[in-house]
């Protein structure tokens, strides 16, 4: 083989290696973008389920929004930890206030794209609501209730609440 042939073969192999590396980098970036888009769509699905369950006040529906190890800081008293305890807390509130109604629930949580990392997402925002404690009670407006929610990706790709805290 001549020296030129060796240089051409080496240039070809280097070019091939660079091409393969570039292609794998582009594919990895594309997969990350696909995963991010899927995460955002699944988080939006959680948001819609949160609105539906909050409006119905069905304890089973509300409980299903939580990860198994979730922590709810929204109940009076100490944090409610674990899906079983969260379900019991929702059932207790429902039993104590059977006529409780949520007439309006308008969360304004913005998922920060950079906050989705390794199966976790942080949301900060506010909710506006109108509630009635009983059928005869006047509606009460609960404006600008500030809070933070930590979301956790589940093994099936869905997202659930891992921690919710309100101000």
How many residues would you count in the chain? 167
Burial class (CB in 10 A: 0-12, 13-18, 19+), 63: buried
User: Is the pLDDT higher at 31 or at 84?
Assistant: 84
Q: What is the pTM of this model?
A: 0.77
pLDDT band for position 167 (cuts 50, 70, 90): confident
Query: pLDDT digit string (tens) for 3-13?
Result: 556 655 555 55
Query: pLDDT digit string (tens) for 70-114?
Result: 999 999 999 999 999 999 999 999 999 999 999 999 998 765 544
Give the per-residue pLDDT at 113: 47
| Mean pLDDT on 50-74 | 97
Which helix (DSSP H) or strand (DSSP E) does residue 145 occupy?
strand 140-153
Give the per-residue pLDDT at 28: 47
| Helices (H), ranges, the chain | 3-56, 59-63, 83-96
If you ran DSSP here, which 8-state letter would residue 114 be given?
G
User: Is the pLDDT higher at 71 or at 33?
Assistant: 71
Give the per-residue pLDDT at 14: 53
Query: pLDDT digit string (tens) for 37-50?
Result: 999 999 999 999 99
Per-residue tokens: 42: 């699944």
Cβ 123 vs Cβ 112: under 8 Å: yes
- Taking 70 as the threshold, does the pLDDT of residue 29 lie above it? no
- Taking 80 as the threshold, does the pLDDT of residue 51 lie above it? yes
* Full set of structural domains in the chain with CATH: 39-166 (3.10.450.50)
- Taking 60 as the threshold, does the pLDDT of residue 1 lie above it? no
| Mean pLDDT on 35-62 | 95
- Taking 50 as the threshold, does the pLDDT of residue 140 lie above it? yes
């Amino acid at each position: 083989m001549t020296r030129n042939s060796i240089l051409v073969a080496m240039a070809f192999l280097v070019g091939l290696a660079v091409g393969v590396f570039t292609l794998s980098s582009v594919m990895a970036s594309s997969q990350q973008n696909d995963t991010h888009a899927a995460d955002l769509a699944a988080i939006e699905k959680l948001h819609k389920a949160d609105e539906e369950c909050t409006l119905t006040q069905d304890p089973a529906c509300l409980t299903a929004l939580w990860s198994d190890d979730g922590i709810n800081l929204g109940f009076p008293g100490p944090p409610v930890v674990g899906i079983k305890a969260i379900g019991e807390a929702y059932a207790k509130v429902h039993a104590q206030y059977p006529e409780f109604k949520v007439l309006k629930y308008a969360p304004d949580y913005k998922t920060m794209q950079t906050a989705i990392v390794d199966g976790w997402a942080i949301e900060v925002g506010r909710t506006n609501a109108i509630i009635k404690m009983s059928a005869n009670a006047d509606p009460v407006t609960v404006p600008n209730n500030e809070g933070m929610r930590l979301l956790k990706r589940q093994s099936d790709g869905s997202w659930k609440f891992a921690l919710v805290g309100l101000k």
